[in-house]
Chain A
């Protein structure tokens, strides 16, 4: 059953990254859209993510629950040593979720209030995945010091380093890229299609740049990224698959296809996560002095894991069909709020 629980954990993290990430990305794109086109981006986005918006963010809750029920030691260590970035991420989640709801459900669409909601929404769309990436980067950065005595080492340098920040920026770029590819399929006219393709290209470039930053920053901490990625056959294959799918993605975009590129984008990001995840598996947190926390050893007792696994299996029997039908019902159509 432990395997089932671990699969669900990675599945929830992956889906949160893909679906929640595309949501964040939509806000990031709005942030970097010229004022003339902002309203167009906003309405495309509202049609695209309105109905599935809340559901996309549920994956985070599922992942957190799996962590504190199944891997309480890892959860409690992360909460202690990464308290500050978690807190900042949460502030982003609160600001973003409420601003999105408020701008749609404010009965009076006043110019000033809408501008305020929009500003909160776009900036928090940028900050939330940034801290999410920082947390993910910190987990594997070997900078968390479980024996630290002073405040800065224990609670600040655990995440405030070039590597974590570079991973944060890379995450932001990937979210934006995912969203741009997704929005191409939602655009209602040629002008918007071209606009989103252009955004996707720019963001692809930025993602490359940030990916490079991650490599450089890793070296400053004596982390050898190349070894992580090419050191084992699975990660190697995943990275190659990611590169191939990126090429295929751009070919299919050029051919004017709309659904297929989404699949390649999702596949590509999944492969990047797989590549990094597999290298470290079963370690979930890589701390200083080789103090690692592993999913295979730092888990709850087997009775808890069994019950959790059953709850997740039964739960997914309800969630997945309903979620599938929700996505199917609102696929790329005009939605009326």
Chain B
């Protein structure tokens, strides 16, 4: 494994895991605060139990999210020192604000976890809300730093020099809103479905039905609404990509030849030698329409982009297909849930309905990882779109593969440990949170 590949793999691995921890760490506090609110209002102890059970999960995910985030703040420099040397002062603004938001989150979490029966109940509730709010703000800020890499602004690049740096302009670059929106909704959808799926499984197994049903209801409403909203924000993101990153869009769609009435290709196996997509379903004009609201307009294909500036087409295309496919599926499940609570109450307790949600548990996170693959692989070979190549940013230190092996080991063990701990939390629900006892 060469050093460049090792560095990219290590970064992908670290981000891939961090994204899961931090999404759960920022969305679960919101669920927790809703349940806490219901407890304060109704005094129903089941809600207090749900709040406390979820707060343990939040604590575990916050701890893993915090250390993997600390890790990343160093990895940026350890793996990409040339990038950070130039990019740091430009896109650092959201990171410094994120540092503040993250700090507030840690303080609020301390108050919340240790604050039962110590503070005014509304102050205590407020600290829980702040964990969620500052978590979401942190997420938005970090994503806006990433969006700068896709849509660099706030500086002039002249003869290899970065001039007229304006960090605020860099933070509010052209892609920040669409990307943050897409990611925040994705976090709610993925976490909502994952949490709901686990509680659905427990209902299906007929364990502590009262507890798990209430928990399921809180989580799934967020998951369902987010899943229904997501296609709209996805559409917005794709339009932005077309404007700023035509190579990424073309790779996502495996769209080789520039043409009017550009077709949308669903599925298929892209062949980069013959420049064709085999076994895909083509819908003429739909890509033009999705990107420009006009069936006729020409869309830039990969043939207009020099080979050395193109991303890996199959990987980007497959990842995009997975993301969109799951997005549509979860949207449909979300619609079914809304129909169920509106008209078809009998569905809610039927076994096919529960099985559907059990099956959907990992879907949101698979889509989320696929989406990040599209964003990151689709930007290659650039680390800063059209300004700096990823290969030019990598550390001169040899032997990065060993560090990659170590980190692979660490992250896999860590994830196994988190799964193990969550299993034990769930296993202990009857002991710790059964109201009858």
Contact = CB atoms under 8 A, between A and B. Distances in A.
Interface of A: 50-55, 57-58, 60-62, 64-66, 68-70, 72-73, 75-80, 83, 86-87, 90-91, 93-94, 97-98, 100-102, 104-108, 151, 154-155, 300-301, 303-304, 307-308, 311-312, 314-315, 318-319, 322-323, 326, 329-330, 335-337
Contacts of A57: 66, 70, 106
B174 interface: no
A93 B85 contact: no
Interface in B82-107: 82, 84-90, 92-93, 95-100, 102-104, 106-107
A58 B428 contact: no
13 contacts: A68-B76, A70-B89, A73-B85, A79-B84, A97-B67, A98-B63, A98-B417, A104-B59, A108-B427, A307-B167, A318-B100, A319-B103, A319-B107
B289 to A, nearest CB: 41
A304 B95 contact: no
A304 B165 contact: yes
Contacts of A329: 111, 115, 118-119
B417 A102 contact: yes
B167 A61 contact: no
Interface stretch (B194-202, B272-280, B393-401): B393-401
Contact of A300 (B70, B88, B397, B427): B88
B64 interface: yes
A60 B74 CA distance: 11
Contacts of B69: 61
Contact of B77 (A68, A107, A318, A330): A68
Contact of A315 (B62, B76, B96, B395): B96
7 tightest A-B CB contacts, nearest first: A69-B92, A79-B77, A101-B63, A300-B89, A315-B100, A72-B88, A76-B81
B107 A65 contact: no
Contacts of B395: 79-80, 83
Contacts of A300: 88-89, 92, 165
A41 B177 CA distance: 49
B68 interface: yes
B114 A337 contact: yes
A105 B85 CA distance: 39
B104 A94 contact: no
A54 B87 CA distance: 28
B164 to A, nearest CB: 8
A55 B106 contact: yes
A101 B66 CA distance: 11
B417 to A, nearest CB: 6
A335 B111 CA distance: 11
B73 A64 contact: yes
B340 interface: no
Interface centre among A54, A80, A335 (most CB of B within 10 A): A54
Nearest to B432: A107
Nearest to B97: A311
B78 interface: yes
A285 to B, nearest CB: 14
A54 B81 contact: no
Given A69-B88, A90-B71, A105-B59, A336 B117 contact: yes
A97 B63 contact: yes
Contacts of B165: 300-301, 303-304
B102 A330 contact: no
B30 interface: no
Nearest to A12: B99
Nearest to A55: B106
B88 A53 contact: no
Given A65-B95, A315-B96, A107 B116 contact: no
B424 A106 contact: yes
Contact of B397 (A78, A91, A155, A319): A155
